[in-house]
Chain A
Amino acid sequence: MDSLRQIFFQECEEQLAELESGLLEIEGGSEDPEIVNAVFRAVHSIKGGAGAFALEDLVRFAHVFETVLDEVRKGRLSTASPVTETLLRAADVLADLVRVARDGGNVNEERIHTAADELAALSGAPIGANAEPEEEVSFEDFGFTPVAMDFPVFDDIAVVDTASVEAEAEPDATTYTITFRPHPSLYTNANEPVVLLRELSRLGDAQIVCDTSTIPTLEELEAEGSYLAWTITLATTHEEDDVRAIFEFVDGDCDLEITTGDLASGNDEPVGVDDDIAALLARVRGEFTDTATESASPAVSDTDIAHAGGSASVDNAAVAAIVVANIEAEAAKPTPEAAKAPAPAKAEKAAGSDAPSTNQTIRVDLDRVDRLMNLVGELVINQAMLSQRLTDAGLARDSEFATGLDEFEQLTHDIQEGVMAIRAQPVKSVFQRMPRLVREVAAITGKKVRLVTEGEDTEVDKTVIERLADPLTHMIRNAIDHGLETPDKRLAAGKREEGLVRLSASHRSGRIVIDIADDGAGINRQRVRAIAEEKGLIQPNAQLTDEEVDNLIFLPGFSTASTVSDISGRGVGMDVVKKSIQALGGRVSITSRPGEGSTFTLSLPLTLAVLYGMVVTVAEQTLVVPLTSIVETLKPKAGDIHGFGGDSRVISMRNNFLPLIDVGRELGYRSQPADPGAGVALLVESDGGAHSALMVDAIQGQRQIVIKSLEENYGRVPGVAAATILGDGRVALILDVDAIVAASRSGASTSETAFALAG
């Protein structure tokens, strides 16, 4: 049941996405009926599933929603802009209801009622949605009764059967006389009188008389005609409705008459019909066995019946006659093979083979993919080790081993890419949440916004996608709240009243790049500066380039909104955005032009399982520095290094002074400061965009490494992000650059000074 629930909610998410994108297309002027249909189906499916889980609020709302969409579908309701807006709002409410049904929590009753009222107003029918909030809308109003799914009840099926069977000998049984004459259409819709008669006989004691009198001669017999009728005398304790219910499916496809009381010649005496049928059967059987190929047998006196029975193209009517006799005799026994219309042999053969795969996708448990990913990681390491061994063994590059290994390396790489592709998903799943956000923020801020998304099919690792949602949400909010001007200001500036926010994704050199661009006023640098000075983030007279000013907004504690707005506020600044992007191994950058708008660019790795790192030596230890945090590397000259109170040192670079962090000492590998002249400085960017220089002894090279979590395998180590296994089998630690920079700051408190110097 739980897994069904899961599937249901998964599907709800898909349907909601479909619903929203469809509505947006309709809003954009599309008149494709298939889109309207898809939108209708989405709501319809949600309602159907919700009914099975007895999610009443959801069913109710979906029903009202669906009713309106049906009007649209039938062309009775135009999709002018106020209508689509209502529909979009309703889609948001539906999404909320789904979420509440899944995660619990409270629904905003008022919002639901408003949306339901709006919908009801559209469809013109007061479908209960206009009712007062405290008034319960009953499901009967919709002609829809939810039934909670309760699967372990299958044992009850047996009970149901016995219940109907035991009705036989009840003393207060009513006797019904049923005359039943099928029309040809009953047969063409694949209904079977024999099945109906069987069902009838389950209700009680049934005497079934078959009327064969209308069977024509063979010449006149139509293969698809209907020539048999039945009179059933049924003694049962069931109500007439139960009897009629059996004929529910064939209502209109037959002449049916049900009367109470035994109008036939009396149910004690089955009018010698059994004899008739027996005789008929005997003849028919005889025909089958003896003269199946002959059209008629002269030996039979009742020629009409003989023609029917002997016909090679035995039609439904004739077959039914055979089976009726069997019902009385052995109700439990399956009907004769002859009653099966298509060749049973084929059916058997078909049932033996597996279901054909008509679906081009499969759903795989994420754990399995991750396990595979891990194994591939091992494979990559193993391959690297093998290469190393061979190199160590001094084998020639053109030896068979070496070429074989090259192929192995290529294959390993391909497998790795293949597995990464399995985990990759289009960014669509995150992007499609944004239109709703834009609508909401636009409504709160009173701004007019159009969201354009591009590159939705760009793929990236699932984990990256999941962790991208929050920062993106925040940046979009920011773009509307801070970036875009109010409509009157825009008009005054000669721009379109409606602001534009463009969200686009693309692949660039092995990374995914996401742009969030607005066509607003651009960053107000004077104001940013003023705030940064006020908050003590920069010195009042600091000389900063435009770019540096723009980047101030990423500093912790910076917030441009003078009053904490409902939207961008919430105590989350761009520093948090930057931090979460960096945690994904990504970077954020910003470009802004006054009056033209700002663009935030996120650059992220395609996967979190591997990273490109610089392998370095520090105090004879091998460490890895993620390449994403390294801005540049340089060999410092002795003159560039300046002592700065105690052990602190700074390095001068292009007239800037940056704190020089001795990684060896920071990690406790050595107690004495290293000789900076003998080492290499890695210029790194850490939290808040500040640059520092990491002092290492030597660079071994750059390579792709497979990340092995330390926390899972050992425990958390400050200053270390994770570990990896190198080609020579050694374990190397991956530096947590941010943590090291932060530790050195708190330890030596050089940052303030560095900033002052930088000014």
Chain B
Amino acid sequence: MTKTILTVDDSRTMREMLLLALQEAGFNVLQAEDGMMGLEVLKDRQADVIITDINMPRLDGFGFIEHVRRDSTHRAVPILVLTTESDAEKKSRARSAGATGWIVKPFHPIKLVDAIRRVSA
């Protein structure tokens, strides 16, 4: 079955890049512009993997991940965090919030698909 990926990023450029890369790789893509919207989407949709940015208005990536991990429906969904640099502090914060892994921006489409494969069964 085609996997559905939810992308959460306030940058339209990034959302479009993710969309293009993920659709090319054969995924269904859901989009949200920030953490709030991401939670909104998850109210009636199911994602196989979530890819989220950290810096976002309203609800940032850390908060978003924490909410998802508390939600009994989605708590087992792998969440990949987009980080711009290989920022160790950000990664460990994301991990303690419940992130499964990360993708370093700017990502190569192959790396992106690779990261998804590394977290989803």
Contacts and interface: CB of A to CB of B under 8 A. Distances in A.
B118 A246 contact: yes
A153 B109 contact: yes
B14 A49 contact: yes
B13 A249 contact: no
A190 B105 contact: no
Interface residues of B, number: 62
B104 to A, nearest CB: 8
Given A48-B105, A189-B98, A342-B76, A157 B110 contact: yes
B77 A190 contact: yes
Contact of A358 (B24, B33, B76, B79): B33
A49 B76 CA distance: 30
Nearest to B65: A189
A138 interface: no
A189, A252, A335, A355 pick with most chain B CB within 10 angstroms: A189
A199 B33 contact: no
A351 B4 contact: yes
Nearest to A340: B121
Given A199-B117, A249-B101, A335-B121, A41 B57 contact: yes
A157 B116 CA distance: 13
Contact of A347 (B48, B57, B113): B48
Nearest to B40: A358
A594 to B, nearest CB: 49
Contacts of B59: none
Contacts of B75: 188, 190
A4 B20 contact: yes
B93 interface: no
B101 A191 contact: yes
Interface in A248-274: 248-249, 252-253
Nearest to B118: A199
Nearest to B114: A160
B9 to A, nearest CB: 9
A147 interface: yes
A359 B113 CA distance: 26
A714 interface: no
Interface in A334-361: 334-335, 339-342, 344, 346-348, 350-351, 355-356, 358-359
Interface in B24-38: 24-25, 28-33, 37
A350 B44 contact: yes
Given A154-B25, A190-B75, A351-B4, A51 B84 contact: yes
Nearest to A248: B101
Contacts of B20: 4, 151
B99 to A, nearest CB: 6
Interface in B15-57: 16-17, 20-21, 24-25, 28-33, 37, 40-41, 44-46, 48, 55-57
Given A11-B12, A191-B119, A51 B45 contact: no
B16 A4 contact: yes
Given A45-B14, A358-B40, A188 B25 contact: no
Given A157-B113, A341-B76, A348-B1, A147 B108 contact: yes
A48, A147, A253 pick with most chain B CB within 10 angstroms: A48
A194 interface: yes
Contacts of B110: 153-154, 156-157, 160
B25 A347 contact: no
A149 B30 contact: no
B13, B69, B110 pick with most chain A CB within 10 angstroms: B13
Contacts of B121: 192, 194-195, 198, 323, 334-335, 339-340
A698 interface: no
B11, B31, B86 pick with most chain A CB within 10 angstroms: B11
A38 B11 CA distance: 12
B79 to A, nearest CB: 6
B17 to A, nearest CB: 6
Nearest to B31: A355
Contacts of A612: none
Contacts of B4: 347, 350-351
Contacts of A699: none
A429 interface: no
A49 B14 CA distance: 7
Interface string A1-17: 00110011011000000
A578 interface: no
B56 A41 contact: yes
A301 B19 CA distance: 53
Nearest to B48: A347
A8 B114 CA distance: 25
B16, B40, B113 pick with most chain A CB within 10 angstroms: B16
A753 B32 CA distance: 69
Contacts of B1: 344, 347-348, 351
B41 A358 contact: yes
Contacts of B44: 350, 356
A401 interface: no
A350 B46 contact: yes
Interface string A196-207: 101100000000
B52 to A, nearest CB: 13
B37 A147 contact: no
Contacts of B57: 34, 37-38, 41
A478 to B, nearest CB: 37
B11 A48 contact: yes
Given A4-B20, A51-B106, A147-B107, A249 B113 contact: no
Interface of A: 3-4, 7-8, 10-11, 34, 37-38, 40-41, 44-45, 47-49, 51-52, 142-144, 146-147, 149-151, 153-154, 156-157, 160, 188-192, 194-196, 198-199, 246, 248-249, 252-253, 323, 334-335, 339-342, 344, 346-348, 350-351, 355-356, 358-359
7 contacts: A4-B13, A40-B55, A45-B11, A157-B25, A160-B114, A189-B100, A190-B98
Interface of B: 1-2, 4, 10-14, 16-17, 20-21, 24-25, 28-33, 37, 40-41, 44-46, 48, 55-57, 69, 73-79, 84-87, 92, 95, 98-102, 105-110, 113-114, 117-121
Given A149-B106, A189-B99, 16 more contacts: A44-B55, A48-B105, A52-B17, A52-B105, A143-B86, A151-B20, A151-B109, A188-B75, A190-B76, A191-B78, A191-B100, A192-B121, A195-B117, A246-B118, A358-B32, A359-B33
Q: Sorted from nearest, which 4 A-B pairs have the closest CB atoms?
A: A341-B76, A249-B101, A52-B106, A51-B106
